[in-house]
């Protein structure tokens, strides 16, 4: 589907024309100017507000499912699993609050602060007088009577908690002696302690204590523990995903082709005799190139920085290829401050030079086009070359898991995986190529 601001502008113009016709020409006598202006403005506002939604497509069940799948908390299935007929209304309410996405503090991991906020929130919901959340060694948070000696940050005192962590199953104690607190005068008399499990590992426990001999409902505490465990698992998955994204970026950094370095150094060596000034410039550019590649941190960078990296690279290649490599940049002013994934554009340009133009005797032109569409909130980057193109079977290979040409598919796959990590399904990476005519690679990412 065709998108962009021009389409919207045309639609708005057409709408105003229709409004004018209806209010001034069709009806007799014509309506007032104020009415026409109000109607046209209202229609324009609706179009502008509705346009991004129309581009996103209908809010069908599929879209809804996709949105749910993409939601970071992703805890709805757990709520469904944990539902049981014997649950009280309080537990149902509490679960709804807990699964409401970002409000679950443990979603960011098992930290003292997250544990304190979770325990404070859960104490009235689980019907206990005191709630403790621990890791395997320490009380991360304790809320309620007994906090003077079951202090947060201190060692796990209650034997019931240590037992639950050690055995990896629920421990219910109905007597102070069974609960095992070694401090005389401890007001806590009964406990339900459930381990928190990530995968098959026990990472801590949640305990609900009461100051009388009737312990809190076991099912309720176990359900809540399973939800907390799920959140901890999701937090760990997030951490692993971030580590994987960092590793992919490092891999791309390490993938800077040594042949590129050899070729550039040879070029500089030859120029150092004939044109020392240019050789110096090339050395400075080479230094800039590696400085940027090594230094760049984080997953996103301002487009202007990536543009600098790309033009540094292309100027080095131009020194090598001479007139065979022509470059054309077409950059929208608005895109310069947009944030794009780091080390994404340069590999695309490198592919265009290495696989598109290097093999073509007469050379060709690499075009980098960057645009921002403020209405659809997207940044579009297109790298075009008029080189030898890619064969259809190789192009099919690039679309799948298998790399096509050596080095090419790896870079594209790396970029695709990193974009998936960063944007989920909200990006496109299109490759179009005709053998003998050239290749167009277009990346469209959300505007940041």
Partner 1 sequence: MEYDDGVDEHDTPAEVDAAFRTLRRVAITHVVLFLVAVLGVPALSLTLGWWSDGQLAGGMSPGFAMAAFGLYAFFLVIGLAAASLSSAVEARMLGGRHTGEDDGFPADGDRS
Which residues are near partner 1 by CB under 8 A? 33, 277, 281, 284-285, 288, 291-292, 295, 304-305, 307-308, 311, 314-315, 318, 326-333, 336-337
Residue 54 CB, nearest approach to partner 1 (Å): 26
User: Which string of b and e fits 351-381 if b means at least 16 CB within 10 Å?
Assistant: bbbbbbbbebeebbbbbbbbbbbebbebbbb
Nearest distance from C-beta of residue 349 to partner 1, angstroms: 12
> Strands across the sheet with 325-331, in order?
325-331, 364-373, 378-385, 438-446, 428-434
CB of 332 to partner 1, least distance (A): 7
Nearer to partner 1, 43 or 331 (CB): 331
19 in Cβ contact with 43 (< 8 Å): yes
CB nearer to partner 1: pick between 337 and 434? 337
In 255-299, which ranges are E strands?
A: none
Closer to partner 1 by Cβ: residue 72 or 276: 276
DSSP 332-379: -GGGGGSEEETTSHHHHHHHIIIIIITT-TT-EEEEEEEEEETTTTEE
**Distance of closest approach, residue 315 Cβ to partner 1, in angstroms:** 5
Question: Among all chains, which residue has been given the structure tokens 């209304």?
Answer: 89
Name which of 177 and 337 has its Cβ closer to partner 1: 337
Q: How far is the CB of 280 from partner 1 (least distance, A)?
A: 9
Report, in Å, the least distance between residue 345 CB and partner 1: 14
Q: What is the DSSP letter of 23?
A: I
The residue among 117 and 320 lying less far from partner 1, judged by its C-beta, is: 320
Rounded CA gap, 441 and 427, in Å? 13
Q: For residues 112 and 336, which CB has a smaller minimum distance to partner 1 in the complex?
A: 336
Q: In what order do the strands lie in the sheet with 139-143?
A: 139-143, 130-135, 201-210, 190-198, 171-173
Q: Give the closest residue to 252 by CA, choosing from 340, 165, 347.
A: 347
């Amino acid at each position: 589907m065709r998108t962009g601001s021009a389409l919207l502008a045309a639609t708005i113009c057409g709408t105003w024309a229709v409004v004018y016709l209806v209010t001034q020409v069709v009806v007799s006598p014509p309506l007032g100017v104020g009415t026409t202006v109000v109607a046209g403005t209202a229609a324009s506002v609706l179009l502008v507000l509705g346009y991004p939604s129309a581009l996103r497509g209908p809010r069908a069940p599929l879209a809804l499912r996709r949105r749910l799948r993409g939601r970071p908390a992703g805890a709805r299935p757990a709520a469904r699993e944990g539902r049981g007929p014997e649950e009280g209304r309080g537990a149902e309410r509490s679960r709804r609050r807990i699964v409401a996405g970002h409000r679950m503090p443990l979603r960011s991991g098992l930290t003292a602060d997250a544990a304190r906020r979770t325990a404070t929130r859960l104490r009235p919901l689980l019907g206990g007088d005191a709630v403790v959340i621990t890791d395997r060694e320490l009380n991360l948070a304790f809320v309620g009577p007994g906090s003077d000696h079951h202090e947060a940050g201190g060692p796990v005192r209650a034997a019931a908690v240590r037992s639950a962590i050690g055995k990896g199953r629920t421990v219910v104690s109905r007597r102070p002696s069974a609960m095992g607190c070694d401090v005389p005068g401890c007001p806590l008399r009964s406990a339900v302690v459930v381990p928190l499990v990530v995968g098959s590992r026990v990472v801590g426990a949640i305990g609900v204590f009461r100051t009388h001999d009737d312990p809190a409902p076991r099912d309720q505490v176990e359900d809540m523990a399973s939800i907390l465990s799920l959140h901890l698992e999701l937090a760990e998955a997030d951490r692993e995903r971030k580590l994987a994204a960092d590793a992919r970026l490092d891999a791309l950094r390490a993938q800077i082709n040594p042949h590129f370095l050899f070729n550039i150094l040879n070029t500089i060596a030859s120029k150092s005799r004939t044109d020392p000034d240019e050789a110096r410039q090339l050395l400075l550019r080479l230094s800039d190139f590696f400085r940027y590649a090594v230094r760049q941190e984080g997953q996103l960078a301002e487009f202007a920085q990536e543009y600098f990296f790309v033009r540094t690279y292309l100027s080095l290649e131009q020194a090598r290829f001479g007139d065979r490599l022509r470059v054309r940049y077409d950059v929208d002013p608005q895109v310069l401050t947009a944030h794009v994934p780091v080390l994404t554009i340069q590999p695309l340009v490198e592919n265009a030079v290495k696989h598109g133009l290097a093999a073509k005797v007469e050379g060709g032109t690499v075009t980098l086009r960057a645009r921002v569409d403020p209405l659809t909130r997207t940044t579009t980057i297109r790298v075009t070359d008029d080189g030898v193109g890619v064969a259809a079977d190789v192009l099919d290979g690039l679309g799948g898991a298998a790399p096509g040409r050596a080095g090419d598919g790896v870079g594209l796959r790396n970029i695709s995986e990193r974009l998936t990590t960063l944007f989920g399904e909200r990006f496109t990476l299109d490759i179009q190529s005709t053998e003998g005519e050239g290749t167009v690679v277009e990346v469209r990412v959300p505007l940041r």
